[in-house]
Structure 1
Amino acid sequence: MAVTESFSLEVGSHSVGVATGGVVPSAALAADAPVVMLVHGAGMNRTVWQLQTRWLAHHGFTPLAVDLPGHGLSDGEPLSSVSEMAAWLGEAITAVSERLECEQVRLVGHSMGSLICTEVAAADHDRVARLVLLGTAAAMPVHPALLGAAERNELLAPELMTSWGHGSRAHIATNPTPGLWMLGGGIALLERADNGVIHADLSACAAYGAGDVAARVRCPVTVIVGSEDKMTPPRAAGPLIADFDNADVVHLAGAGHMMMNEDPAAVRTALAAALA
């Protein structure tokens, strides 16, 4: 197997940023290694999955962590609603299915990405085989101070999101990757977003209402919640979880909203069980 990230994808006429965990996806590979599409949260990009994609790529899966339009390396403008993002993800699944000759994909979504993936799973029973949600909730209200700072493109927005998005261990320099500063990395990631992107995403989250979407999902669902998640507290996920027909819940003690970075080993273990 080649070991490079040189995999290109287009949705419509726009190029999409994709991380594949260092293994070039192909139809031959995807025939035996199920395709897993991972969708990031507000203001972020594909790199939030870097501690999961490489592991997945070398443990029987074909991971594709995608940048939403206007994020990371993806062309286009950021979309203004979760429904528009879900429609885009549906088109991305079509492009991936044609490229890798696969009939189904597994969806993994974090925060805003969890809303997007749930909408797609509810609407496309035939092509979504598994659904994994991290940092999710039936509704995602946004604090006015955060929304205002994002509208003004102030550094305060990344600072608030990073502070609220990490559990107490991350605030005292604990990091699974020695030598790296988790909070500093979170701020740096969000600072890379173009002007208006964070505000567009947060506005979409604030306006979203789940309705009966969970009840319309037919595939197996796993919900991963962090005990110290301040942005989507475990209790906020309760109504959504209750509406799923077939859902397992994984609790990560001491993890906050950015659980993929805070406790990557536990997240990988949960993904391995949920995606099999």
Structure 2
Amino acid sequence: MLLDVNGHQVYCYTGGKAFDPGLPVVVLIHGAQNDHSVWALQSRALAHRGYAVLAPDLPGHGRSGGPPLSTVEAMAAWVIAVLDAAGVSRALLAGHSMGSLIALEAAHVAPQRMSGLALLGATYPMRVSDTLLDAARTKQDAAIDMVAAWSHASWLPGPSTAGPGASVINTARRLMQRMAARGANGLFHTDFSACNAYANGEAAAASVACPTLFVQGKKDMMTPPRSAQLLTGGIKHATVVGVDAGHAMMSEAPDAVLDALLRLAAEPARFS
């Protein structure tokens, strides 16, 4: 689905179903140097279970136009503008990694628009090492290799996952390479710099009133569960779910991630 947001064309994947804002809406926000496709398994499953799904490509990513936004606050405002453009009054926001900060900030600035909040691979502060920041700016191929390796707990998914035998690391690497080739110049560095600079996490967490779920990869090396304590402690009513995966949990533990999202979407009162 194509939307006009702030004068630029925005692409939103809707999970293979026509988008109906009259249904319960779930918005899936991707992380740095990614696009909507990281949510491919969850978005289709949600759409075919009676939810209206919006999995947008952030500006300058994938099929969405406009320059990449340089701050989490600007990206959160953009997400609210996407809701407006799609005719959505309230939605459950789910964000992964950088997307978790975007979802958190959006819930802070527009609490009345949120029916629920799911933060996957979240941490705060979301510090990025100087080495990785420099590589993202000057040696993008090396940065992509680092992130692809550090985001995964294993090279191959288990036999019960979708596409058994496919290399999840190489799939993630190819996506980031495609973003580098087709996206805005310096996209990786812009995204990482936004994560590194975001300073409103504690205040945003303290303000969240909607049902909230944290999904954490038990083997996450990028955002280890222990690093999320300022957020999990700040949102006192939040539920924390651990899945057997690294940072790229949507591909490494797709069913467990989907189950957690479905429980939040179907029974939000249990998470408040």
> Structure 2 length normalisation: TM-score?
0.92
Distance 2:96 2:157 in 1: 23
**Which deviations, in whole Å up to 9, do the C-alpha atoms of 1:137-162 show, x marking residues without a partner?**
12111122211111015211111011
Aligned pairs for 1:4-153 within 5 A: 7-26=1-20, 30-31=21-22, 33-97=23-87, 102-153=88-139
Distance 2:41 2:156 in 1: 21
Distance 2:202 2:240 in 1: 20
Instruction: Report the Cα offset of residue 126 of structure 1.
Output: 1.2
Distance 1:65 1:221 in 2: 19
- In structure 2, relative to structure 1, the CA distance for the partners of 1:197 and 1:153 (3 Å cut) is farther
- In structure 2, relative to structure 1, the CA distance for the partners of 1:55 and 1:146 (3 Å cut) is same
SS of the residue corresponding to residue 270 of structure 1 reads: helix
Name 1:265's counterpart in structure 2: 255
Distance 1:172 1:112 in 2: 24
**Which deviations, in whole Å up to 9, do the C-alpha atoms of 1:46-66 show, x marking residues without a partner?**
000001011000112111100
Instruction: Report the Cα offset of residue 103 of structure 1.
Output: 2.4
Name 2:270's counterpart in structure 1: none
When structure 1 is superposed on structure 2, of 228-237 and 150-159 the one drifting more is 150-159
Instruction: Report the Cα offset of residue 179 of structure 1.
Output: 3.9
Name 2:203's counterpart in structure 1: 212
| Equivalent pair of 1:217/1:245 in contact (CA under 8 Å) | no
| Same amino acid, percent of matched pairs | 42
SS of the residue corresponding to residue 132 of structure 1 reads: strand
| Equivalent pair of 2:79/2:106 in contact (CA under 8 Å) | yes
Question: Which blocks of at least 5 consecutive residues in structure 1 are unaligned?
Answer: 1-6
SS of the residue corresponding to residue 120 of structure 1 reads: helix
Amino acid at match of 1:48: V
Aligned length: 259
**Which deviations, in whole Å up to 9, do the C-alpha atoms of 1:71-106 show, x marking residues without a partner?**
000001111111111111111111122xxxx42111
Aligned pairs for 1:109-258 within 5 A: 109-167=95-153, 170-171=154-155, 174=158, 176=161, 177-193=163-179, 194=183, 195-209=185-199, 210-253=201-244, 255-258=245-248
Amino acid at match of 1:59: R
Distance 1:21 1:179 in 2: 24
Question: Which blocks of at least 5 consecutive residues in structure 2 are unaligned?
Answer: 267-272
Instruction: Report the Cα offset of residue 173 of structure 1.
Output: 6.0
> Structure 1 length normalisation: TM-score?
0.90
| Equivalent pair of 1:109/1:116 in contact (CA under 8 Å) | yes
| Equivalent pair of 2:156/2:164 in contact (CA under 8 Å) | no
Amino acid at match of 2:173: I
Instruction: Report the Cα offset of residue 10 of structure 1.
Output: 1.5
- In structure 2, relative to structure 1, the CA distance for the partners of 1:246 and 1:173 (3 Å cut) is closer
Amino acid at match of 1:19: Y
